Amino acid sequence: MLKSYINRVKANIQIYSNKKTKNILEGSYKSIYYGRSLDFEDLREYNYGDNVKDIDWKSSSRTGRLLVRRYIAERKHYVLILLDSGKKMDADTESGASKKEVALLTAGTLAYVAYKNHDEIGFMFNKNNRISFHDFKTSETSIELGLHDYDVNGMEGNTDDSCVEKDLDFILHNINKSMIIFVITDRFGTSNIKADTLKKLGIKNDIFIINIADSLMTGEGSFDIDANSYIPLNWVKDDRLHQAELDLRKEIDGRNKEKIKQAKASTCVIDTKEEVVPKIIELIERRRDEYRR
């Protein structure tokens, strides 16, 4: 029997049943997606891969820069939720929550928001080192099935720490749609994504990278999933090792931030189930504001 993931999502959303949340569920998030329609929004500089039919020649001549018209898409959107199924997703967050459970709630919330907006939702993850793809549909049942498959089978047979780069490369070469892509991974998964892959995907897709927070190796009660044992206490209490870990995280985060910025993607970090709804709202509103600049 399937768990009711949707009911858990609804219950979590109900806690934040304020005006902001309701507005997102009623479809205000569509402003993060730009496509071709009759609903003109604004002008921006031409990027490689843009349709030449969208070039506004008069404005380009006037400003001396090649400008294209940008439109808000009126049709249904394709929303792809890519879940990292590498073995590091079987660990805990910094607050001690299950990374997999936080990822599931995040994916379910995003899918439910898209469903309420009548968009088509697909799920993808890696299973037994092969791509598992739930095709785009608009129904609560398809959401339940996608989340259930990841919950039960997502970590099955995977030996890599992260599978996201493989999955994104598959999307790049096999799915010819303009999509909103939500990548749910962690710090390591993001660092493992090739900058070139992200840039190429960003030409015709809107990309959001949601990092599920990692626990500290030098945190109390830390567990090494590779060694299947707890981190030795003398490591946990080593101040120099702790500082070295913090410095390494800062370095990785800096590289990740620059790579995401270059690809014109957006990102956030989620540590607990309680953060899922407010962090998604913040992420979507920040992307909308970026588009308006």
Convert the pLDDT of each residue in 137-166 to its tens digit. 999 999 999 999 999 988 876 677 788 999
pLDDT tens-digit map of 201-233? 998 898 999 999 988 776 666 656 666 666 677
Mean pLDDT (whole number) for 260-279: 94
Which tens digit of pLDDT belongs to each residue from 95-141? 889 999 999 999 999 999 899 888 999 999 998 888 999 999 999 99
Tally Cβ neighbours within 10 Å of residue 25: 17
Contact 143, 113 (CB under 8 A): no
Domain identity same for 81 and 43: no
Residues 175 and 65 in one domain: no
The answer to whether position 22 is within a domain reads: no
CA atoms within 13 A on the CB side of 178: 14
Number of domains in the chain: 2
pLDDT value at residue 239? 82
Confidence of residue 79 (pLDDT cuts 50, 70, 90): very high
| Same domain membership, residue 175 and residue 56 | no
Q: What is the pLDDT of residue 216?
A: 79
Residue where one domain finishes, among candidates 46, 71, 96? 71
Q: Are residues 231 and 147 in the same domain?
A: yes
pLDDT, tens digit, 9 for 90 and up, residues 173-198: 999 888 999 999 999 999 999 999 99
Query: Which residues lie below 8 Å from residue 46, measured CB to CB, with a gap of 6+?
Result: 55, 66, 67, 68
Write down the pLDDT at residue 108.
96
Q: Which pLDDT tens digit goes with each residue over 21-78?
A: 555 555 445 555 554 444 556 687 887 666 788 888 988 898 999 988 776 554 578 9
- Per-residue pLDDT at 228: 63
Phi, psi at residue 169, to the nearest 5°?
Answer: -65, -40
Domain for residue 268, yes or no? yes
Query: Could you tell me if 66 and 99 lie in one domain?
Result: no
Could you give the C-alpha distances from 162 to 3, 85, 183, 189, in angstroms and in order?
26, 7, 12, 5
Task: Please indicate, yes or no, whether residues 82 and 217 belong to a single structural domain of this protein.
Answer: yes
234 lies in which domain range?
A: 75-292
Among residues 19, 43, 71, the one where a domain terminates is 71
Q: Specify whether 52 is located in the same domain as 137.
A: no
